Each structure stands twice: as C-alpha cells, then as structure tokens.
A and B are shown apart, each in its own frame.
Chain A
C-alpha cells in the first residue's frame, strides 16, 4: 500500500525557535496533504489542507503565521512551527490523498511529537 513517511518522530526545542516537520509520500503522488494536531485523549484536529503548488487552506482558529505549510512538490509537504512556545507542544500528524483516488482513503505518516521547553 501507499506509504507516507513523517520526520522527525520526536523533537524537543527551546521556546522561540522554529521547528520543521516533513511529510513525504514514498511511492505515490500526493496531490493533497492534510495536517492534524492531536491533544491528549482528543480527536485528530484538522489544521490545514495543502494542495501541491498552491497556498494551504487553514481551518478556523489556526494561525497561518504560526504554522507555515509548504507543499512544493507532489511528494513533500512541510509544517513549520514558528517561534514555538510551550503551548505548541503537541502531537502533529500528516496524511495524504493519492492523486487520482476518489475513495477519500487517507495514508498517514507516523506522527511527530513536539515538546517545547
């Protein structure tokens, strides 16, 4: 099946620094990628939808300048948490839709746990 690789799986950073998380589709073209954030015991909360070559669409309440999303190629999307603060500590996970699939099935990365000190 389609594989999505997400790195890093864990990252610890100091407050005020920026952190980049990568999401790669290894064996398919991902025209659309989604970024989620998960708080403990809560559901995956959609942050933004990114389409290759265009600006990401952010969900209500998600700060565009805080969470920069780039989808420059059909196999790579990145999420940069800028000027991270302790409240940004969370689990972030990406998913991708295969280019020509209409089933809506999503292929997920392994997730990244961010801890901001």
Chain B
C-alpha cells in the first residue's frame, strides 16, 4: 500500500509569518509529486508538479523542494497572508502507475490577520 503522509495536520500562523509543511512519500517507484491548494468551497488548484530529485519550484511567495531519495517534499510560504488560508495537498504519482495519483490528507493552514 502506497502511503502519503502530510504534517502537520493543521497550522495556525499570524499574518506575516513564514511557514512550511512536509509531505512524505515512498522513495521507491517515484515518478512525480504534485502540490495542490484547496480553498474552502472551491476546487483544488495545482501549485507545482515536481519530477526530479533536488527540484525547487517557486510561485510568488510559495516555493517547494523535493528529495526523492529520502521521500519528502517541503512547501514553504513566505510572509503568510490571510488569503493563503487553505488546505495544501500533496499527491504522489508512482512509476508505472499511469496518471493514478495518491493524495495525502493535507495540511490545513489558517492565517490570522
């Protein structure tokens, strides 16, 4: 059974704080890792897709790193804003799994103004 773990489950920060969360995935049979952002009452939206060990991706104040050898990815948010409040999902695609994607339970971020 392929397991994707995310921590913490939830996080409360003040506006302006920088924060990060972790996604752990099987280090064998790695093909790709995705990060999605899911605001309440909306659809999850893709943030990043990462495929190579050592990959670093950035979009505005949000960035992500990938370590496929040890099976983890970090998502960083610099200077959190209330509009960053959402659930952040990571999703693992195994080699040979086609487009099948295994999701973590998410990290729910609350940013207080």
Contact = CB atoms under 8 A, between A and B. Distances in A.
A41 B43 contact: no
B111 interface: no
Given A4-B43, A44-B89, A109-B43, A103 B105 contact: no
B57 to A, nearest CB: 12
B99 A97 contact: yes
B104 A43 contact: yes
Interface in B1-50: 4, 9, 32, 34, 36, 41-46, 49
B44 A108 contact: yes
Nearest to A39: B105
Interface residues of A, number: 22
Contacts of B9: 41
A41 B105 contact: yes
A110 B100 CA distance: 20
A46 B105 contact: no
B43 A108 contact: yes
How big is chain B's contact interface, by range? 20 to 34
A104 B41 contact: no
Contacts of A106: 34, 36, 44, 46, 91, 99, 101
A56 to B, nearest CB: 13
Nearest to A41: B105
B62 interface: no
Contact of B103 (A4, A44, A105): A44
A43 B101 contact: no
Given A43-B4, A46-B101, A104 B89 contact: no
Nearest to B108: A41
Contact of B43 (A32, A97, A110): A110
Contacts of B36: 106, 108
Interface of A: 1, 4, 32, 34, 36, 41-44, 46, 49, 95, 97, 103-111
